Amino acid sequence: MTEAVRPRPVTSPRSWRAYRDEFAIFERHAYLNTCSLGALGARVRAAVERFLGLWNEWGASAWYGPWWAELDALRASVAGLLGADPDEVALAPSISGALAAVASCFEYRARPRVVVADVDFPTVPYQWLARAERGAHVEFVRSPDGLGVPIEAFEQAIDERTALVATSHVYFQSGAVQDIAALARLAHARGAYLLVDAYQSVGQLPVDVHAADADFLVTGGLKWLLGGPGVAYLYARRALLQALRPAVSGWFAHRDQFAFDTRHLEYADTARRFEAGTPSVAAVYAGRAGLEYVHEIGVDRIRARQIELTAALVDGLRSLGLRPRLRGDQTAHAGIVTVPVEDPSAVVAALRRDGVIIDSRPGVIRLSTYFYNTDEDIDRAMASLRTQMP
């Protein structure tokens, strides 16, 4: 097991306003789009500047000290947030890269089927649609309402030919939360593995991969972990590691990568066997600094704050005669709210001119709140939306 110091979850006594002051975008905008990209925090900017300073001062020799240590520190920080161990965490340049490494481990002969939801982010099914000529078959479970998928629908789709169930913890177009522990039980009962796309959940919802009994989980710094683009995280259950040999590989996957052995690929004993080439060190520094906010505040506190803000957002939207798409109440959703409108792109552009930043997906506008948002952000967004109503 990799020895590394795990960050301890902390509930910070600092006020929400004090945290908000570290995110300069709020000096100009009401930012309600963390589900697309987390706001840039002062600590993240300082961390990237620290990386640049080391590059400038040390050059390549920074690899043998601070940069290498930063990779281990990031794996440990991610593990602490997921309820995993550091040797179960691999770094990747994107969710697509992490998924490709996992998908390349399977042969798809005796078990060709991969079960996904039709409301998952396209990156998930693409990995196996691209492997159709190699025997993989993607089985889509249909959402009855475009929001989420009942567990019973997965139960009907998983059988003895299923290699993997690969789906979301939080569905990107609706914010609906899936019960991943229930999915793990269903998959394992039929000899299949569970891969969780947690890009829209980790950071805003409590996640414990060991308690949920997930086999794989992917997430990243782009959204709720506040680290920006360029780094993603893969959890792989330790008991599976020795049996998995990724065909998507690189020198970071080697057990002794600095031996520069061109003739033998000996996989690392840890989840590093899923890593490929040299990571973006700037993104690694940014990723760990973003995680610092989440660890310091505590996910439970973030979740409670988010439920309050999302309730206020939903109330505001309904007061305008709009119909936010929800399954039940806010506790069944993460901090993402989508609203059908006639021309989503035009609405997003109009709000942008008013200094309100949101996003759109087919047929809907998408708004999201996070710990740094305030009721004033929501009021500003509602005032702008009111001018767009017929």
pLDDT of residue 180: 97
Class of domain 16-40+298-386: alpha beta
Map out the domains of the chain as residue ranges: 16-40+298-386, 49-295
Q: Convert 216-237 into a string of H (helix), E (strand) and C (coil).
A: EEEEECCCCCCCCCCCEEEEEC
CA distance 363 to 214: 33
Our CA angle for 124, 254, 238, nearest 5°, is 60
pLDDT of residue 332: 86
HSE, side-chain direction, 13 A CA sphere, residue 248: 16
User: Same CATH fold, 49-295 and 16-40+298-386?
Assistant: no
Please name the residue that has the structure tokens 């060991």: 210
Beta partners for 140?
116
First to last CA, the chain: 61
Class of domain 49-295: alpha beta
pLDDT of residue 2: 35
> Model's pTM, two decimal places?
0.94
**pLDDT averaged per 10 residues in sequence order, the chain, 390 residues:** 42 85 98 98 98 97 94 98 98 97 95 98 97 95 95 97 98 95 98 98 97 98 97 97 94 90 92 96 98 97 95 96 88 92 96 97 96 97 90
